[in-house]
Structure 1
Amino acid sequence: MTRAKAVPETVTVHIPFRLVKRGGRKEIQLPDGASGHSKMDNTLIKALARAFRWKRMLESGEFVTIAELAEREGIAPSYMTRVLRLTLLAPDIVDAILNGQQDMRLTSARLLEPLPINWTRQIELFD
């Protein structure tokens, strides 16, 4: 009978990276040629969270109109309607944003513009 080689208790992994300060924040900078996930866009993530929260508040009957909810939130109703359109995004696009893997052209300013309702056409815009 052959004995298996012992498994070490500790494994050391070396990952080359640098911490860089940008605008008061620390970011991880990978070496040239290293692949990594795109940076998470906190502005987009926050806009998505707001949109789905506001949609839930309207659908639950907590607020009857967008104007009423906008007043409570202290924002313009026109802005709220633009943000609420994010709830109509294709699930693939929402997942990409939440995972930090969205196309660089997919910005909050671009998403607040009118987009096609058809999910396939939305995805084609950013492929």
Structure 2
Amino acid sequence: MEDIVKISLLYDFYGPLLTEKQREYFELYYFNDLSLNEIAQNYNVSRQGVFDNIHRSLEFLKQCEEKLGLVEKFLSQKKALERIKLQLEGILPHLDEYSGEILKKAIEALDKLVKEGWE
């Protein structure tokens, strides 16, 4: 099984491009932990139909990432921000009180970006 974090990121970035039915099945399977049989029973469709829908949806999300690379760019930028934050924290002890306070605020802003993303 693929890493659920990677699947979640793909869905966060490209999920709105799926049809409503694809999003429903995808969310139920990956995020609400329903089985293929449970989804099939709830929607009165075959298990194979649910499987095909979810499989096609995931493949579509992967194709979007291959073409656009937004998840990869996001993760790369997040790592870069984390490195910058660490470098700034290393400078902090060498500053006077006033400059240190300004830098602390900048570090807090960076930390917020890293933790919350660009929502």
Fold-level similarity (TM above 0.5): no
Interval of TM-score (by shorter of Structure 1 and Structure 2): under 0.3
User: Structure 1 or 2: larger helix share?
Assistant: 2
Q: TM-score, normalised by structure 1?
A: 0.24
User: Structure 1 or 2: larger strand share?
Assistant: 1
